[in-house]
Amino acid sequence: MAERHALRVLVVDDHELFRTGLCALLKDEGFVVADAPGGEVALALMPSFEPDVIVMDLNMPGMSGIDATARATQALPGVEVVMLTINRQDDRILEAVRAGARGYLLKDAELEQIVAGIRDTAAGRPVLAPAAAGAVMAEVRKGTTPAPGAAPSPLALTARERSVLTLLARGCDNAEIGRQLYVSPSTVKHHVSSVFEKLGVSNRLQAAAYAIRHGLADDDPDLG
């Protein structure tokens, strides 16, 4: 979705302390923010507020976050939803993605990760916490999620780039990849960017799907 002057974010969460605290932090980051204690209130608020992104809790009394996501994306075409939850269950993650959520983050994420996730989601880029990536990748492995477009041979990658791709496909974030390969986060970031460019993909989900389709996800990364 094209970004307007300031992104409009609707925070939906039944825990008042968490909801109001997050709203205050997001306002400090320059977002225009509204909030709702549940799915029903959020749906009623949407026509007047017109959010760019909805930050949606998963488990709420009454209408669940998954049901609210499905109804919100139908009622307001173009709105993006990022789930922000403590739930790490694979089946719930997949339900959220199928309902239309473009992002899935955990509540213990750093604020900068949540802010970046909101901006990426608004731009139409999938955002997945490492804990959620495993479930989506398992679905890709079963062949139920479409593979990205035709990509070049993995031989185009260096040995270190192949190791980075393997760990990325396992749901590791940049910090964890750096720890396993004994390199700095900035070096990992450089390798990830190079992998994206060589494979012709634009995000980690597409890169991980490529790795699975080409049998690289099960490789032993070169930790040397």
Provide the CATH number for the domain around residue 117.
3.40.50.2300
- Asked if residue 107 and residue 22 are part of one domain, the reply reads yes
Residues 41 and 18 in one domain: yes
- Decide if 180 contacts 167 (C-beta within 8 A): yes
Report yes or no on 209 lying in a domain.
yes
Range of the structural domain that residue 45 is part of: 8-139
Is the domain of 134 the same as that of 65?
yes
Same domain, 114 and 166: no
Nearest one of 223, 186, 216, 184 to 199, comparing CA atoms = 216
**Residue 2 maps to a domain:** no
Say if 93 falls within a structural domain: yes
Range with lowest mean pLDDT among 9-13, 65-69, 108-112: 108-112
**What tokens were used for 108?**
């213990």
For the ranges 7-21, 26-40, 131-145, the lowest mean pLDDT is seen at: 131-145
Say if residue 131 is in the same domain as residue 168. Answer: no
* Higher per-residue pLDDT: 219 or 77: 77
Do residues 186 and 102 both lie within one domain? no
In a domain, 94, yes or no: yes
pTM, 2 dp: 0.62
Biggest alpha carbon distance in the chain?
56
Q: Kindly report, residue by residue over 59-71, the tens digit of the pLDDT.
A: 898 899 999 999 9
Identify whether 222 is part of a domain: no
Residue 37 and residue 12 share a domain: yes
- Residue 55, classed as helix, strand or coil, is strand
Residues 124 and 165 in one domain: no
Q: Which of 139, 166, 199 is the last residue of a domain?
A: 139
Q: Which of 25, 28, 31 is nearest to 8 (CA)?
A: 31
Q: Of 63, 75, 56, 66, which Cα lies nearest the Cα of 99? A: 66
Q: Does any domain span residue 146?
A: no
Helix, strand, or coil (residue 187): helix
For 171-188, write each residue's pLDDT tens digit.
Answer: 777 888 888 999 998 899
Both 59 and 169 in one domain: the answer is no
Domain end point (choices 139, 168, 194): 139
| Least reliable range by pLDDT among 107-111, 142-146, 162-166, 216-220 | 142-146
The CATH number of the domain holding residue 203 is 1.10.10.10
- Position 109: which residue type? A
Structurally, the chain folds into a number of domains equal to 2
Alpha carbons 68 and 60: distance in angstroms, whole number: 10
**Same domain as 132, residue 182:** no
Examine residue 148 and state whether it is found in any structural domain, yes or no: no
Q: What is the mean pLDDT of the chain?
A: 81
Predicted pLDDT of residue 141: 53
28 and 101 belong to one structural domain: yes
Q: What is the pLDDT of residue 138?
A: 60
Query: How confident is the model over 217-221, as a mean pLDDT?
Result: 69
CA distance 114 to 107: 9
* Same-domain status, 68 and 123: yes
